[in-house]
């Protein structure tokens, strides 16, 4: 959705493209119409929320993945021979 008109827009450099993306972000969230201090409040809340999400996922996801792997390998990896025997 974003790409096709972006090609039509003819950006001179990356900076311009990023500025355009930021503009789209302003328009879609509606904060385009807000006053600068409100914009900065919104941005800081949004970015700190995103940062927290990233941080928590960095801290906790590996542990959960390992636990999950152990759990599933406990189910599937535990008794391979007996399953094979049943099937035979």
Partner 1 sequence: MTESSANKLLNGDACHRTANGRKASKNGFVKNHCLFQQPHKYRRPREKNQNVTHNSSLYKKPFSESFEETPLLVAVLTYMGYGILTIFGYLRDFLRHWNIEKCHVARERDEQKDFVPLYQDFENFYTRNLYMRIRDNWNRPICSVPGAKMDLVERVSHDYNWTFEHTGKVVKDVINMGSYNYLGFAENTGTCADAAIEATQAYGVGVGSTRCEMGNLDIHEEMEQLVARFLGVESSMAFGMGFATNSMNIPALTGKGCLILSDELNHASLVLGARLSASTIRVFKHNNMQSLEKLLRDAIVHGQPRTHRPWKKILIVVEGIYSMEGSIVRLPEIIALKKRYKAYLYLDEAHSIGALGPNGRGVVDYFGLDPKDVDIMMGTFTKSFGAAGGYIGGKKELIDYLRRHSHSALYATSMSPPVAQQIITSMKIIMGEDGTTLGADRLRQLSENTTYFRRKLREMGFIIYGNDDSPVVPMMLYMPAKIGAFGREMLKRNIGTVVVGFPATPIIESRARFCVSAAHTRETLNTALEAISEVGDLLQLKYSRREQPLPSLGWMSEESLLQD
What's the min distance (Å) between Cβ of 8 and partner 1?
Answer: 6
The two counts, helices (H) then strands (E), for the chain are 4, 0
In whole angstroms, the minimum distance from the beta carbon of 83 to partner 1 comes to 45
19-58 footprint of partner 1 as x/- string (CB under 8 A) = -x--xx-xxxxxxxxxx--x---x----------------
> Between 2 and 63, whose beta carbon lies closer to partner 1?
2
Contacts of 43 (CB under 8 A, 6+ apart): 31
The residue among 16, 21, 18 whose CA lies nearest residue 2 is 21
CA 84 to chain centre: 41
Q: Which of 8, 15, 82, 87 binds partner 1 (CB under 8 A)?
A: 8
**Spatial separation of the C-alpha atoms in residues 37 and 26, rounded to whole Å:** 14
Q: Which residues of this chain interact with partner 1, rule CB under 8 A?
A: 1-2, 5, 8-9, 20, 23-24, 26-35, 38, 42
């Amino acid at each position: 959705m974003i790409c096709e008109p972006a090609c039509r827009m003819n950006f001179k450099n990356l900076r311009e493209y990023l500025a355009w993306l930021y503009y789209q972000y302003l328009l879609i969230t509606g904060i385009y119409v807000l006053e600068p201090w409100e914009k900065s409040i919104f941005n800081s809340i949004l970015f700190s929320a995103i940062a927290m999400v990233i941080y928590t996922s960095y801290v906790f996801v590996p542990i959960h993945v390992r636990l999950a792997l152990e759990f599933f390998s406990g189910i599937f990896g535990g008794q391979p021979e007996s399953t094979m025997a049943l099937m035979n």
